[in-house]
Amino acid sequence: MIIKMTKLQGILLMMSTIAPTAIVSVPSVVVQLSEQDAWVSIIIAMVAGGLFSLLIGSICRQNTQTTFLDWLRVRLGSKAGTAIGILLTYYYLISVVIEMREFVNFIGENVLSRTPVYFLLIITVAVVMYGVSQGIVNIARVNLIVLPLSLLVFIVTGILLLKNIHIENLLPLWEHPLRKVAQGSMTPTTWLLQVSILLLIAPFMSKPEEAGKVGMWGIVLTSIELGIIVVAAITIIGSRLISIMSYPTFYMIGIIQIGTFLERIDLLFISIWICMMYVKMSIVMFATFHCFIHTFRIRNEKPFLLCLGLFTILTTMYAWPKSVDLAYFSKTVLIPYAITFNVLIPLVIWLLLRFIKPNPMKAGK
Amino acid sequence: MDIFNNQESKGQSANGVNNNKTEGSQSNASGENQAQLISSDLQSNLDMLHTRLGNSPDIVIRRLGDPADGMNRNSQQFALVYVDGLVNGASVNELIAEISKQTERDMFKLQNGEKFYQFLKNHALAAGGVTETDQEDKVLLSIFNGNVVVLVDGCATSLLADMAGGNLRSVEEPSSQTVIRGPKDGFTESLRTNTSLIRRKIKSPDLRIDAKVIGTQTQTNIAVVYLKGVAKEEIVQEVHRRLDSIQIDSVLEGAYIEEFIQDAKITVFPTMINTERPDAASAGILEGQVVIIVDGSPFVLLMPVTFFKFFQSSEDYYQRYDISTFLRMIRYVSFLVSMLLPSLYIAITTFHQEMLPTTLLIGLAAQRDGVPFPALLEALLMEMTFEVLREAGVRMPRVIGPAISIVGALVLGQAAVQAGLVSGAMVIVVSFTAIANFVIPAINMAIAARLTRFLLMLLGATLGLFGIISGLMFLLIHMASLRSFGFPYMAPIAPLSYNSLKDIFIRVPWWKMNTRPEAATDNIARQENAGQSNPSDHPSNS
């Protein structure tokens, strides 16, 4: 019995691909540029991401049979398919390495300051690789438990924070020129563009032709989540302070205190965030492994799973000798890099698909 | 030739009664071995039995009508062979008396062996289940299944009369899974009694009982019970296929089979439920589950199951839905407590003290002040103490139970705290964890929580909350990947099925329970008025 992903699982999977890292990094970056108008930047990013998901959907609609790379090979030729496969493998590997490094850095700095980073990394990679070994449908199922749980925690903390809200922090409205607000929307758009992973995931859905809708819903819901966090951060902390904070989301939750028995519950929020990060890293690692296996047509997958895990640990450890290097990389290279792979490659694929007509001889094989 | 390696399924019942025990398919037959046939000479048949069975004192061979014993020389010679203790002695005596009476009356009519055989088959043994066989192996097997074998001189066929009896435990209240309200009957060690207990509850012609024999030495009878039209056909076939593939010498309990046929070979989580309650088994059958009954065990297996089934108790459906829902919530919380509480305590006291309110933190610190061990060692010490007490409690004689309880509670609890070996808080944590573990209705799921607790304690002690969360994620990925006969273990949550949610975290009222859970059936309509509201919503009530 082959069970595929439902539409709901797909939407939640998209949310989990984008949200966990975005909710941590987006508020401070957006508020730095558009201050109290940051929510408008999020709306602009949502529109851009939505339009992009239509492009992804139109590609996914054409393949309802086999995995993305196998289909590309048949549709665009072996060389083009392999080249795209190599590029995607490279992109997702680097993405997962960045995420992993940021994740263990965060844990090392905020939760377990005296534990060696490599130990944290080994545990993280072990859990992620186990998730990958069980397949994307299984990851989607785990996400079906983790994401609603995180949303529940999100809502409860929101309610507990209500008394700290200062709505006047959002005023004056439209103080910043559109150019500045649009500039502020660049970072959230970059995160939302990660919806391009649908190209790989759509064949695992029971209705791959609905990938466009799944992407659209994923982007809208994630943007709403991001918007709420940004607005909450501005109204609770104030735009000036947010700009100088590394993790305003966690700080915001840290200020919750009820009587003397409930304080410092940010650790609970961090715990559920760790679960979300595990799901996210498993999705991206799955994309890496899937691209790798299908690009190089590997049949016996298990040994390579182990090798990829080891390779990820070493790259994560040694790609950036210091955390400062990673911060520099994130500030300078990450956005053009992500846009190149998330936008340009799907766009090229889309154009190639438009101009290269299907070969009935190959399709029949 | 192995006496049990036969697969013949001839044996048409003499009086239409189909005796599955002797003619059911034997899954582990080893091939096309030529069956050894019995002889028409009574003496040589008895010699054969002596040779193959040895001189075991429980095997009774009663030769009757022998002139050497002073009988009329015209009397027909025959023999009854059975195992003392496996048959109903009174029935055997009645049979002998009946034959004697009839043969005295119709002596001359019954001198011919063939006629005597027909007389036995159609008149003397007509009441019970009777089959015939001409194979030595079948004769031997039927003896051990509680049959009386009748061998007639001059006939190369034997009669197998089902007179199973002997001392069996009667139907009693189950020792596990007790309820305050609900049926008090429990399964016994007799397969036939167990099938009858289910038949009494489900009086449907669609209830099917398929027979199997597993175990080359034990020849254990197995029954596969399901409701045709409700159970998924592919699941029933899969159960048969997996049972047929078992190659083992003995099956003494359902657990032997469980480990063979479960989907995941390595997991701490059970993927089959066992119960000794006929009502729970019947409820499972009515929801499309397949039940396996193993002769000799009062515990039957139900499949397929999902994770959430292990938190449902029979009593949930006999009490009002509000209290049932509340109790179900308590069980889920208890499962989490049982798995997580010691590890959370270790993680928070070792790594994340800032999470505790200051007053509580000071109190805990004062308690732990004189304790020489780190929190992990302290917790392991107490957990191991409790595990030892628990194991001792199972094995020790009932009369010294209270004494051990006092030793456990006072010496190992209070005295350990006073001696400064463990802190009072740790005693509370371990005790509450242990009690919470007993709240889980299914013992095999409670065991899973018990085992994973130790893993999480180690992770909590080495990596704090991060370690616990990592461990939980690992378990979650593992559980989401499990299947029970092909069905996802975490359904109906992951994958989500709205229809089946009404009996997971909450138990909706019976009048709302209009569909079956989708795990084991495609035929989900449970009530004819599915979708309608409470029947008491009648205009006359308003």
Q: Do A267 and B465 count as a contact with CB atoms less than 8 A apart?
A: yes
The answer on pLDDT for B468 being more than 90 is: yes
At B23 the three-state DSSP class reads helix
Which helix (H) or strand (E) is B212 found in, with range? strand B207-214
The pLDDT, as a whole number, for residue B433 is 94
Please give the residue that has the higher pLDDT: either A183 or B272. B272
Q: Residue B306: what pLDDT?
A: 93
Task: With a cut of 60, say whether residue B67 has pLDDT above it.
Answer: yes
Three-class secondary structure assignment of B230-287: CCCHHHHHHHHHHHHCCCCCCCCCHHHHHHHHCCCCCCCCCCCEEECCHHHHHHHHHC
Span A27-42, average pLDDT: 83
Quickly state the pLDDT bin for B69 (edges 50, 70, 90).
low
Residue B452 C-alpha, separation from nearest chain A C-alpha, in angstroms: 16
- The residues near B293 (Cβ < 8 Å, ≥ 6 apart) are B187, B191, B194, B195, B222, B223, B225, B300
Mind listing the pLDDT tens digit for each residue in A221-235?
A: 999 999 998 888 888
Residue B51 or residue A243, greater confidence: B51
B11 pLDDT exceeds 60? no
pLDDT reading at A325 higher than 90: no
Q: B110: pLDDT confidence band, cut at 50, 70 and 90? A: low
pLDDT, average across residues B114-133: 77
**Would you say residue A113 has pLDDT above 50?**
yes
Alpha-carbon gap: A318 to the closest alpha carbon of chain B (Å): 23
Predicted local distance difference test score (pLDDT) of residue B534: 56
User: At residue A200, does pLDDT exceed 60?
Assistant: yes
Q: Which of A16-30, B18-32, B257-271, B372-386 has the lowest mean pLDDT?
A: B18-32
Q: Is the peptide bond before B402 cis (omega within 30 degrees of 0)?
A: no
Burial (Cβ within 10 Å: 0-12, 13-18, ≥19) of residue B370: exposed
DSSP state of A262: E
Chain A CB within 8 Å of residue B493 CB: yes
B499 touches chain A (CB under 8 A): no
Q: Is residue A2 part of a domain?
A: no
B469 vs A242: which has the higher pLDDT: B469
Inter-chain touch B490–A141, beta carbons under 8 Å = yes
| Best CA proximity match to B149, nearest among B165, B132, B161 | B161
Highest mean pLDDT: which range of B331-335, B395-399, B404-408: B331-335
- Residues B301-326 pLDDT 10s: 999 999 999 999 988 999 999 999 99
| pLDDT per residue as tens digits for the range B233-253 | 999 999 999 999 999 999 999
- What ipTM score was computed for the predicted complex, to two decimals? 0.92
Residue appearing with tokens 């929101």: A158
Q: Does residue A130 sit at the B interface (CB-CB below 8 Å)?
A: yes
Residue A133 pLDDT > 50: yes
* Nearest-CB residue to A144 (from B351, B358, B495): B495
Structure-block tokens of residue B462: 């080495």
pLDDT band for position B68 (50/70/90)? low
Return the pLDDT at B3.
35
Residue A113: other Cβ atoms inside 10 A: 9
- Residues 6 or more apart whose Cβ sits within 8 Å of residue B27: B212, B213, B214, B243, B244, B245, B246
**CB within 8 Å of chain A, chain B residues 335-374:** 351-352, 354-355, 357-360
- Is B496 near chain A, with CB under 8 Å? yes
Lowest mean pLDDT among A290-299, B19-28, B231-240, B248-257: B19-28
Reported as a single tens digit per residue, the pLDDT across B257-288 is 999 999 988 899 999 999 999 999 999 999 99
Q: How close is the nearest chain A Cα to the Cα of B307, in Å?
A: 13
Q: What is the pLDDT of residue B396?
A: 81
Please indicate, yes or no, whether the overall pTM of this predicted structure exceeds 0.90: no
Contacts with A115 from chain B: Cβ below 8 Å:
463
Q: Which residues contact A141 (CB under 8 A, 6 or more apart)?
A: A9, B480, B488, B490, B494, B495
Check residue B458 and give its pLDDT. 95
- We report the CATH number of the domain holding residue A323 as 1.20.1740.10
Q: Residue B308's pLDDT is what?
A: 94
Q: Is the pLDDT of residue A91 over 50?
A: yes
Residue B529: per-residue pLDDT = 60
Q: Does B22 have pLDDT greater than 70? A: no
Between A277 and B359, residue with greater pLDDT? A277
Task: Quote the pLDDT of residue B494.
Answer: 84
* pLDDT of the residue at B127: 59
- Look at A6-15, B238-247, B403-412 and tell me which has the smallest mean pLDDT: B403-412
Structural domain of A116: 7-364
Nearest to A111 among B466, B473, B474 (CB): B466
Tell me if B232 sits within 8 A of B244, measured CB to CB.
no
- Summarised one tens digit per residue, pLDDT across range A258-294 is 776 667 777 888 899 999 999 999 999 999 999 999 9
Q: In degrees rounded to 5, what are phi and psi of residue A197?
A: -60, -15
Q: Which pLDDT belongs to residue B541? A: 47
Q: What is the pLDDT of residue A360?
A: 62
Average pLDDT over residues A29-41: 83
Is the predicted pLDDT of residue A364 greater than 60, yes or no? no
Q: What is the pLDDT of residues B170-222, one digit of tens each?
A: 899 988 888 888 899 999 999 989 999 999 999 999 999 999 999 988 999 99
Most confident of A86-100, A163-177, B135-149, B355-369: A86-100
The closest CB to that of A123, out of B359, B463, B472, belongs to B463
Q: What average pLDDT does the segment B50-59 reach?
A: 86
Nearest to B258 by CA among B248, B266, B270: B270
Residue at A117 is within a domain: yes
pLDDT of B289 above 80: yes
| B480 shares contact with chain A (CB less than 8 Å) | yes
Number of domains in chain A: 1
pLDDT(B46) > 70:
yes
Q: Does B466 contact A112 at a Cβ distance shorter than 8 Å?
A: yes
Share of chain B above pLDDT 70, in %: 87
| Confidence grade of residue B367 (pLDDT, cut at 50, 70, 90) | confident
Of A294, A355, A19, the C-alpha closest to A154 is A19
Residue B212 phi, psi dihedral angles, 5° rounding = -145, 160
Q: How far apart are the first and last CA of chain B?
A: 77
Q: Is the pLDDT of residue B531 over 60?
A: no
Q: Is residue A236 part of a domain?
A: yes
Return the number of CB contacts < 8 Å for A and B: 96
Percent of chain A with pLDDT over 70: 96
* Region for B333 from its dihedrals, namely left if φ exceeds 0, alpha if ψ lies in -120 to 50, beta otherwise: alpha
Q: B106: pLDDT confidence band, cut at 50, 70 and 90? A: low
- Give the whole-angstrom CA distance, residue B347 versus residue A115: 14
| Residue A1 maps to a domain | no
In the predicted structure, residue A363 carries a pLDDT above the cut 80: no
Query: Are residues B473 and A127, on separate chains, in Cβ contact within 8 Å?
Result: yes
CA distance A337 to chain B (A): 30
How confident is the model over B48-57, as a mean pLDDT?
86
Strand pairing class (B59-64; B78-83)? antiparallel
Which of A151-165, A321-335, B442-456 has the least mean pLDDT? A321-335
Query: Which pLDDT does position B72 carry in this prediction?
Result: 60
Q: Which residues of A touch B352 (CB under 8 A)?
A: 111, 267
Is the Cβ pair A146, B480 closer than 8 Å? no
Residue B342 burial (CB count, 10 A): 28
**pLDDT score recorded for residue B128:** 62
